[in-house]
Structure 1
């Protein structure tokens, strides 16, 4: 005597309808979640108005030429401690190598992928030609270090450098 084999269930129209609806529900659900994550995590454009940025472009070119003519040597060193505090030291000298005093430097760390994570660095003159500042809650990774130097109410120096903080 041979054991009875169970009979296979026939595929019905109801089964096909339910599996088709379930398949598309999963696909649409995953797409909705991925769209939501993409929209909430990507801030969008680099600048708010491309037209405004293009109008300011010529002024930036003139300012860059003037900065090159001044031939200042501005050296910056930034270091991140394990507690998330980033310390910045700036040494500024003119074309003759003399320290630049009474400058107002401003610095910020910008995240290349998310402007919402940008951190301002409070910079103060620590000595003749030496400026120091720090920022808290700085995550490890790639940053753009932007340094601006003002004197007599106008920007005299601008630098943007890609750095990696550990």
Structure 2
């Protein structure tokens, strides 16, 4: 047989149906796989209720103004050790430079892209005006360091800074 004598099969309705079904099965399958990966890696929302967050916004503005009026001098040092432990030191002084004693500081490392990786830092007073804490299993990279200080249940200090831990 020569190339010019080849028998060609006609395109039938059955062939077209199978080709269309196969094409859309591949497209839908790929979409389902991508959707599954997107849902598994979705970190969630920043706030659970935007309405409640907007109501609390005015209180946050007032608290920030009060914090600025106190004019506290708070120095924070943090570094990540090779075993993955992050060590935090906070030095807190009032506007006159006197150490702040008896404060309850709470600190946490928040991953900017994934809430599931957040790490709480246990902070305790080591000396007058000096507070220390640590967190284990802290990965290398960018973090938001959030520090809150309260006195008798009333928040007196809030700080949120982007840091890089190596």
Q: TM-score higher than 0.5 here?
A: yes
**2:96 counterpart SS class:** coil
2:149 match = 149
Instruction: Measure, in 2, the Cα distance between the counterparts of 1:69 and 1:31.
Output: 54
2:112 match = 112
Name stretches of at least 5 consecutive residues in structure 2 with no aligned partner: none
Instruction: Measure, in 2, the Cα distance between the counterparts of 1:33 and 1:18.
Output: 22
Instruction: Measure, in 2, the Cα distance between the counterparts of 1:111 and 1:8.
Output: 64
Instruction: Measure, in 2, the Cα distance between the counterparts of 1:101 and 1:88.
Output: 17
Q: How far 1:58 moved relative to its partner?
A: 1.0
Q: How far 1:9 moved relative to its partner?
A: 4.7
Q: How far 1:8 moved relative to its partner?
A: 6.5
Q: How far 1:85 moved relative to its partner?
A: 0.8
Can you list the C-alpha shifts for 1:20-70, whole angstroms capped at 9, x where unaligned?
Answer: 221111110010111122122213321111111111111111110000001
Q: What TM-score do the two structures reach when normalised by structure 1?
A: 0.90
2:25 match = 25
When the two chains are superposed, the root-mean-square deviation of aligned CA atoms in Å is: 1.7
| Equivalences, count | 164
Can you list the C-alpha shifts for 1:89-117, whole angstroms capped at 9, x where unaligned?
Answer: 11111111121111111000111111121
1:125 match = 125
Q: What TM-score do the two structures reach when normalised by structure 2?
A: 0.90
**1:150 counterpart SS class:** strand
Cα distance change on mapping 1:7 and 1:132 into 2, 3 Å: same
